[in-house]
Structure 1
Amino acid sequence: MKNSKVYLRLFFNQPCFLCRLHTAGASGLCDACHADLPWLIGCCPRCAEPRSPRIPPDQPCGRCQTSPPGFDRVIAAFGYAFPLSQMIPGIKYHRRPALLGGLAATLAGLLQERIETPPDLLLPVPMHPWQESVRGFNQAALLASELGKRLDIPVSHSTLRKVRRTGHQAELDRRSRAINLRGSFALSGRVPERVAIVDDILTTGATANELAKLLKKAGSNEVQVWVLARTPSN
């Protein structure tokens, strides 16, 4: 976390993060690239599963109706499509965390429009210490720090801990992901009534669901999930 300010700093009069041709605005993107991002227009109000905008916005998807998740609401800015499908892996696997700056600014603006009562605390999805040391940073922690600063919400980097290393979730199906995560997280200290879990992507929701159950067992009544992008469930 010591390099987070360097990673996330947005400089004025800098080129757009995407096209590198035009001057970036407050989001870190030029107006054209900002407009072309894969905004999530239609989605389930509970899990943010992408779907047709013609479905009533207050109607939960079938999965949330038959098997409600532990979390209460997901807010995602984008669908997981180009260029997010290149930017986010670039952040994590090609050590380009500076790209988080513009995306965090955009997500913060969206949250300001949608959140009536802000949570009391932001909690980034934790990485196992060994995995974080190999990567050099936790992108969820960097994102949570930037959102906390922009929205004036406290962030805790120690409340949630990953205590067991797990295999790559991307290689597993929905059921296997849930099994893979059991018992891999721990919680320290007390938690407030309203919290928001912060991560870069939500796929099946297995990680968010596991953390939400842990937080509600510890006393939280409302658990939201804030992510940059939501993928279609497989």
Structure 2
Amino acid sequence: MFKPVMNYCSKNIHPCALCGAPDADHHGLCADCHGDLPWLVRACPRCALPLEPHATTTCNHCRHAPPPFDRTLAAFHYDFPLSQLLPHIKYQRQPAHIGWLGRVLAAYLRVHYEDDWPDALIPVPMHPLNELHRGFNQASLLAEVLAKQLQLPIEPVLRKRQRTPHQMSLNLEDRRHNLHNAFDVARPPARHVALIDDVMTTGTTVSTLTTLLKRAGAERVDIWVLARTPEVR
């Protein structure tokens, strides 16, 4: 189980953000915790769903009904400790872990991103009242870390104009209807952008946002997330 990050600065010791062991040197983690993270080793390049060992390089869904976004990169399966840590960040208002998570994701992207870097990063927005209640938008904080690590600009052109029930409480069909007319685009986006979020589940939210961005002028939209859940129907 992860532990709160403690202040060791006076001793020039950098503790592991998960276990508290000293001398963490893997973007904020010790070598053991870094190696034990639920790395997503083999995934569909379009939607990042985990692939079975015998599967081809693209999942069946993306071959037969490609999503509107062009590529998805996720560093992890949504499994322990991420499955406990990410809700802890959001619902217990503990955003400090976003720092090392963003650095780990940036390192993952440097290794696995083989195309031209996007022109801008766009965090998935929250409704202003929900963000005020929580005190932060975890996607925006993650985008800030990635922007600093990768030297890319942030372009927050998306707005959520309607409050909606949490997607996690809905089935797939209800998720689609839940987001109808919930977002808009404040101004034309860059040609090639990356949408930033913490977790991708069904892809409904990023599909909705991708469609809006492409209608507004984006030519390519990639999805960058920390974790990908298994298939949800």
Taking structure 2 as the reference length, the TM-score comes to 0.92
Q: Which residue of 1 aligns with 2:136?
A: 137
Q: Which letter maps to 1:70?
A: P
C-alpha distance in 1, partners of 2:201/2:32? Answer: 27
Aligned length: 224
Q: Which letter maps to 1:119?
A: P
Structure 1 gaps of 5+ residues are 1-6
Q: Which residue of 1 aligns with 2:230?
A: 232
Q: Which residue of 2 aligns with 1:150?
A: 149
Q: Which letter maps to 2:127?
A: H
Q: Is the 8 A contact 2:26 2:34 kept in 1?
A: no
Q: Which residue of 1 aligns with 2:219?
A: 221
C-alpha distance in 1, partners of 2:43/2:112? Answer: 14
Deviation at 1:56? 3.0
Deviations 1:112-162 (A, max 9, x none): 1122310001000000000000000000000001001100000023x1100
C-alpha distance in 1, partners of 2:84/2:136? Answer: 19
Q: Which residue of 2 aligns with 1:48?
A: 48
Three-state SS of the structure 1 residue aligned to 2:146 is helix
Q: Is the 8 A contact 2:17 2:100 kept in 1?
A: yes
Q: Is the 8 A contact 1:26 1:105 kept in 2?
A: no
Residue 61 in structure 1 maps to residue 71 in structure 2: no
Structure 2 gaps of 5+ residues are none
Q: Which letter maps to 2:178?
A: N
Alignment of 1:75-224 (within 5 A): 75-115=73-113, 116-157=115-156, 159-224=157-222
Q: Which residue of 2 aligns with 1:4?
A: none
Three-state SS of the structure 2 residue aligned to 1:32 is helix
Q: Which residue of 1 aligns with 2:18?
A: 18
Deviation at 1:26? 4.5
Name the % identity: 48
Q: Is the 8 A contact 1:77 1:228 kept in 2?
A: yes
Q: Is the 8 A contact 1:28 1:102 kept in 2?
A: yes
Taking structure 1 as the reference length, the TM-score comes to 0.91
Deviation at 1:96? 1.2
Deviation at 1:98? 0.7
Q: Which letter maps to 1:162?
A: K
Q: Which runs of 4+ in 1 moved over 4 A?
A: none
Deviation at 1:211? 0.3
Deviation at 1:54? 3.9
C-alpha distance in 2, partners of 1:35/1:27? Answer: 12
Three-state SS of the structure 1 residue aligned to 2:159 is strand
